[in-house]
Structures are given as structure tokens and as C-alpha cells.
């Protein structure tokens, strides 16, 4: 996908985990868990805007998810199509800027066009930057960035000794987006699952022991309150969290 560029603060990233287990515990098909997960996405976007979050990044489809059953992948893509068709106009009206990060390979043409159209339509909005990590894996992102660096060095556009961490960051999918201040993961799992490995270097983590379909505005607010109680040190002196 195209790289997203926008300055700002108060960035929350979420690993939306637990749709399948939510459905299994209720004797429902996994597709229903994913459908309820989309409802949670809507609630999370509304809550982010109400809580003053300026950037919200959601891990929606991992590059590792291709190993899931074909029917489940088809269901996920169908939900994405319906979400964009149903919600895009409302998001645009509310000033939401949509960005998409991840690899384009393997995606159907209509999915790519739909995502590109959503990005183009909302590119000038500023109330909230909603970044969707779709067909995304952090190791793949870093490898693609390294390939672009190598190409620029070979072309003489940049010297190898000038590749600092800051310069390297401009080759990532997230480009000039601020690094997340807070990562939230639902379902009680305590791992990153190949999500934003570079960008989360100094983020605060909050793990919430509910499945994604049960994630509410109150839980979002509680996670931000927990973040605000922490002192962020960035490897040096402490700094009170402000998001």
C-alpha cells in the first residue's frame, strides 16, 4: 500500500484479537465472531474521536492469516468490503483520514481499488487518522524498507553511512506517522504477533482480558487511563504520559 504521512500525537494501536474464540464459546461460526468484531471497530473509532485520540491504528489482517481456511479468508474480505461500503461516507463526513499499510501482493484488484479509493477520498481529513494494517507483517515491512534503502544506495540517492534509524523510518509503511504511544491487545494474549515491531520500540502496552467483540468505549478509556498513570522513560529520564 502507499505509505502514510501525517504529523501528530496521541497515537493508539490495537491488536484486535479473539473474534474466533468469542464465537466458539457461544457455539457460533467464526464468521459471526468476525462480524461482531467489525461492530467493535465502529465503536473503537467513535471512542477514539470522543477521547481525543488523533491516530488509531488497527491490525485487521496479518500476512500470516493467509494460512487460515479459505472460507474464513473470504468471509474476512467480504466484511472488509461491506465495512468500507457502509461506513466510508460517514467516516469521511466525520473528518476521518484513512491510511492503509501492508503488502499489496496477493490481494484482489477490487480490494486494492476499494482501499485506494478510500485513501484518496479522505486524504485531506484531519479529525482522526485511521490506519488499517491489512495484509501486514512487521518483518515483511522492514524487509521491504531495507530493499528500498538498498535500491537508493545503489542509485546513489543516499550514502550507506547516512542511513540512521530516523532515515530508515522514512522507508517504512508508516513513514512520518508518529510512533504509537499506546498498544492495546485484547483477548488476554501477551505478544506482539509481528505487529509494528519497529514503531513500538518505546510504546506502552496494555493487555485487556476480553475478546475483541466485547471491547467497549469504557475499556478503551480505562486503557488510556492506565497509560496516563505511567512514566515513559524512552531509555532516559522519566516523562509523564500525556495522551
Task: Please report, rounded to a whole number, the percentage of residues in the chain having pLDDT higher than 90.
Answer: 76
pLDDT tens digit string along 156-205?
Answer: 999 999 999 999 999 999 987 999 999 999 999 999 999 999 999 999 99
Where residue 3 falls among pLDDT bands split at 50, 70, 90?
low
Mean pLDDT of 58-76: 86
Query: How is residue 228 written as a grid cell?
Result: 496516563
Q: Within a 10 A sphere around the Cβ of 27, how many other Cβ atoms?
A: 7
Q: Which residues are catalytic?
A: 17, 65
Cell 485484547 sits at which residue? 186
**Which of these, 151, 88, 94, lies nearest to 120 by C-alpha position?**
88
pLDDT of residue 7: 38
Q: Annotated binding site for substrate: which residue ranges?
A: 18-22, 30, 34, 62-64, 66, 68, 185, 191-193
pLDDT of residue 28: 97
Residues 6+ apart with CB under 8 A from 60: 16, 41, 80, 132, 133, 134
Q: Within a 10 A sphere around the Cβ of 69, how many other Cβ atoms?
A: 9
Where residue 82 falls among pLDDT bands split at 50, 70, 90?
confident
Q: Annotated binding site for Mg(2+): which residue ranges?
A: 17, 204
pLDDT of residue 8: 41
Right CATH for 11-137+178-228 from 3.40.1180.10, 1.20.1440.120, 3.10.180.10, 3.40.50.970 = 3.40.1180.10
Domain extents for the chain? Answer: 11-137+178-228
pLDDT of residue 133: 94
Q: Within a 10 A sphere around the Cβ of 185, how many other Cβ atoms?
A: 24
**Which of these, 45, 55, 21, lies nearest to 189 by C-alpha position?**
21
With H, G, I as helix, E, B as strand and everything else as coil, classify residue 232. strand
**Which of these, 226, 213, 231, 142, lies nearest to 184 by C-alpha position?**
226
In DSSP notation, 14-80 reads EE---HHHHHHHTT--HHHHHHHHHHHHHHHHHHHHHTT-SEEEEEEEEGGGGGS-HHHHHHHHHHH
pLDDT of residue 149: 98
Q: Annotated binding site: which residue ranges?
A: 17-22, 30, 34, 62-64, 66, 68, 185, 191-193, 204
By residue count, the chain amounts to 243
pLDDT of residue 6: 47
Residues 6+ apart with CB under 8 A from 135: 61, 62, 63, 102, 103, 104, 105, 106, 107
pLDDT tens digit string along 6-50?
Answer: 434 699 999 999 999 999 999 999 999 999 999 999 999 999 999
Mean pLDDT of 113-129: 96
Strand residue runs (E) in 69-165: 96-101, 128-136
Amino acid at each position: 500500500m502507499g505509505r502514510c504521512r501525517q504529523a501528530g500525537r496521541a497515537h493508539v494501536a490495537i491488536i484486535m484479537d479473539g473474534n474466533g474464540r468469542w464465537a466458539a464459546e457461544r457455539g457460533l461460526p467464526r464468521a459471526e465472531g468476525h462480524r461482531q468484531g467489525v461492530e467493535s471497530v465502529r465503536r473503537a473509532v467513535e471512542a477514539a474521536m470522543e477521547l481525543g485520540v488523533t491516530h488509531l491504528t488497527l491490525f485487521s489482517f496479518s500476512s500470516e492469516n493467509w494460512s487460515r481456511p479459505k472460507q474464513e479468508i473470504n468471509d474476512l474480505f467480504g466484511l472488509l468490503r461491506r465495512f468500507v461500503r457502509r461506513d466510508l461516507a460517514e467516516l469521511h463526513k466525520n473528518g476521518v483520514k484513512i491510511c492503509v499499510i501492508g503488502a499489496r501482493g496477493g490481494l484482489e484488484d477490487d480490494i486494492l481499488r476499494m482501499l485506494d479509493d478510500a485513501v484518496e477520498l479522505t486524504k485531506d481529513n484531519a479529525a482522526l487518522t485511521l490506519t488499517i494494517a491489512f495484509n501486514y507483517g512487521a518483518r515483511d515491512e522492514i524487509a521491504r524498507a531495507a530493499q528500498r534503502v538498498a535500491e537508493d544506495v545503489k542509485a546513489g540517492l543516499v550514502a550507506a553511512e547516512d542511513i540512521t534509524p530516523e532515515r530508515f523510518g522514512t522507508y517504512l509503511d508508516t513513514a512520518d506517522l508518529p510512533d504509537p504511544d499506546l498498544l492495546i491487545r485484547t483477548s488476554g494474549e501477551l505478544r506482539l504477533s509481528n505487529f509494528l515491531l519497529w514503531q513500538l520500540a518505546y510504546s506502552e502496552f496494555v493487555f485487556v482480558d476480553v475478546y475483541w467483540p466485547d471491547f467497549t468505549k469504557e475499556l478503551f478509556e480505562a486503557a488510556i487511563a492506565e497509560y496516563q498513570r505511567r512514566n515513559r522513560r524512552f531509555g532516559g529520564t522519566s516523562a509523564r504520559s500525556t495522551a
